[in-house]
Structure formats: structure tokens, C-alpha cells
Amino acid sequence: MITLKARPVGNSTGITLPKEVTDRLKIKNGDTVYLTESPDGYRLTAYDPEFAEQMEAAERVMKRYKDALRELAK
């Protein structure tokens, strides 16, 4: 468990993530992270659920039309 301290940042509240956390999440300055509610609290992740959903849809289309896509790629 890692303890974080909340600090005022303008009119908001911010936390600073230690290097070990950013290394594990594979995030760097300027990256977007996602805070999502889960049954056991909150989850902080670099994973974009909307992008993952779009990729799953693209994979279904590519699988369904693989022959057509192969011909178009020629």
C-alpha cells in the first residue's frame, strides 16, 4: 500500500504519484490516466476503456471481412 497526500492545486485538490507508481502504470508527464469507480472503491489506470471497446469492434469487423480486406490491401 502506498500513502498519498492531497494538496491544494488552484481551486482543485491534487496528489503526486511516486516514481514507482508511474513506472508500474507506464505513464509519464502529459499522459492521461483514468479514475474509475469499482465495487471495492476506485481504480487508477492508464487503460482507456472507450479505446479498448473501439478496438474490439474493429477486430470483429476485420475478422468478419478478412478476405475483402486482404484484397483491398493488394
- The C-alpha cell at 36 is 474509475
Q: What is the pLDDT of residue 60?
A: 93
Q: What is the pLDDT of residue 22?
A: 92
**Distance from C-alpha of 15 to C-alpha of 9, rounded to nearest angstrom:** 9
The residue type found at 11 is N
Location of C-alpha cell 477486430: 59
**Distance from C-alpha of 53 to C-alpha of 7, rounded to nearest angstrom:** 34
pTM, rounded to two decimals: 0.56
**Distance from C-alpha of 32 to C-alpha of 26, rounded to nearest angstrom:** 11
**Distance from C-alpha of 27 to C-alpha of 74, rounded to nearest angstrom:** 38
Give residue-wise pLDDT tens across range 33-72: 988 888 999 988 887 777 778 888 999 999 999 999 999 9
- Compute the average pLDDT of residues 10-18: 95
Q: What is the pLDDT of residue 32?
A: 87
